[in-house]
Chain A
Amino acid sequence: AQSVTQPDIHITVSEGASLELRCNYSYGATPYLFWYVQSPGQGLQLLLKYFSGDTLVQGIKGFEAEFKRSQSSFNLRKPSVHWSDAAEYFCAVGASDYKLSFGAGTTVTVRA
């Protein structure tokens, strides 16, 4: 069965510092991978996606992620965080043509 692991439940980072959120997946074939962000009281906003091709993908809000097949990972990075990046981040794998399987999420706190 497909699964997604986000090892870090909560990360605190200083404004202006770099951020890396980890995501590992278990999937038998080449996966479709996504990162979503959720602010309190809101739905999920798509940050970026990987379907195929270049393993380093760029997303919105200055985020990027790198697909590493050998490590079954799809880590999200941002060089310099802003206070507005405080939110919960979800990694997801396309477990089928239509069903997303989500990780448990990582909450990011940004301190001034």
Chain B
Amino acid sequence: GAGVSQSPSNKVTEKGKDVELRCDPISGHTALYWYRQSLGQGLEFLIYFQGNSAPDKSGLPSDRFSAERTGGSVSTLTIQRTQQEDSAVYLCASSVTIRQPQHFGDGTRLSIL
């Protein structure tokens, strides 16, 4: 079956622009997670969804970051007014429900010029 799908795989944009990153989880997975992977910080938890609700947004680095999930499926992570420190690989994962193994997509590599 299909795994977690993320798009785009690569995104290059100018500082100050807004970007949207998309995640399509494994069908039937109710929980969805966003992580960020960067050289200096390693793998960091950003946010998770149970259904369409985001009970924990504590990992979002600033108010420039937001995420939503619709229909209990696709999720979008939006970064407004991008900064160079936002350059990283953004990974999405999903699981059947919480407390179950998380399955990761291949990530979106974001580069801010």
Q: Which residues of A contact B (CB under 8 A)?
A: 32, 34, 36, 41-46, 49, 90, 92, 94-95, 97-105
In the complex, number of A-B residue pairs with CB atoms less than 8 Å apart: 50
Residue pair A46, B103 in contact (C-beta under 8 Å): yes
Inter-subunit contact A43/B43 (CB<8 Å): no
Interface string of B36-58 (1 = CB under 8 A from A): 00000011010010100000100
Instruction: Report the minimal beta-carbon distance from A20 to chain B, rounded to whole angstroms.
Output: 22
Cα of A95 to Cα of B59 in the assembled complex, Å: 13
- Chain B: residues with CB nearer than 8 A to chain A? 4, 6, 31, 33, 35, 42-43, 45, 48, 50, 56, 59, 91, 93, 98-99, 101-107
Alpha-carbon distance A59/B91, docked complex (angstroms): 23
Q: List 20 A-B contacts (CB under 8 A).
A: A32-B99, A42-B106, A42-B107, A43-B104, A43-B106, A43-B107, A44-B91, A44-B93, A44-B104, A46-B102, A97-B98, A97-B99, A98-B31, A98-B98, A99-B48, A100-B35, A100-B102, A101-B45, A102-B42, A104-B42
Query: Would you call B43 and A102 a contact (CB within 8 A)?
Result: yes
> Which of B31, B43, B91, B105 has its CB near the most chain A CB atoms (within 10 A)?
B43
Q: Which of B42, B99, B106 contacts A105 (CB 8 A)?
A: B42
The binding surface of chain B is classed by DSSP as strand
> Residues of B contacting A101 with CB < 8 Å?
45
For the complex of A and B, the 10 pairs showing the least CB-CB separation, nearest first, are A43-B104, A102-B43, A44-B104, A43-B106, A98-B98, A97-B98, A99-B45, A98-B48, A97-B99, A43-B105
> Which of A41, A43, A94, A101 lies at the interface centre, i.e. has the most chain B CB atoms within 10 A of its CB?
A43
A101 to chain B: closest CB distance in Å?
8
Closest to A92 in B: B43
What distance in Å separates the Cβ of A90 from its nearest Cβ neighbour in chain B?
Answer: 7
